[in-house]
Amino acid sequence: MVDYKKTKAAQSTVARDLELLGDKTGNIYESIAIVSKRANQVGAELKDELNQKLQEFASVTDNLEEVFENREQIEISKYYERLPKPSLIAYQEFLDDEVYYRNPAKENKEA
């Protein structure tokens, strides 16, 4: 798994230069599609990682007092809420050339 804790992605949404985004592939819409697919992958990975960590604290008996007293689960959840959004992580990865992508339609035209 990728370590998203060390990402250089912005914590909040900022204005983006679409020219910079489009320069990578030559097509803004293709770049957005790549970032979108990567954001879905990042979101799924973060969700799986969070669920695995929360399962460690899952109890067999669920009574109301235990739900409110489980500080470990609350701290883990808060930590993941503070991480940058998957779309911001994917955008930064795309700009840093850390995302592998290819377009089979373009490859077939060139061949």
Residue 11 belongs to a domain: no
Residue 111 belongs to a domain: no
Residue 59 belongs to a domain: yes
Residue 52 belongs to a domain: yes
Distance CA 6, CA 94 (A): 16
- CA geometry: angle 34, 43, 31, nearest 5 deg: 10
Handedness of CA 8, 12, 14, 20 (dihedral sign): positive
pLDDT per residue of the chain (111 residues) written in tens, 0 to 9: 566 666 777 777 778 788 888 888 889 999 999 999 999 999 999 999 988 888 887 666 656 555 555 778 888 888 888 888 899 999 989 999 999 988 887 777 776
Domain that holds residue 88: 18-99
Residue 24 belongs to a domain: yes
Residue 2 belongs to a domain: no
Report helix angle 28-55 to 71-82, nearest 10.
Answer: 170
Residue 110 belongs to a domain: no
Residue 104 belongs to a domain: no
- What is Dmax (Cα atoms) for the chain? 65
Q: Which residue has the tokens 């109890």?
A: 59
Lookup: tokens for 34:
């790549």
pTM for the model: 0.77
Structural domain count, the chain: 1
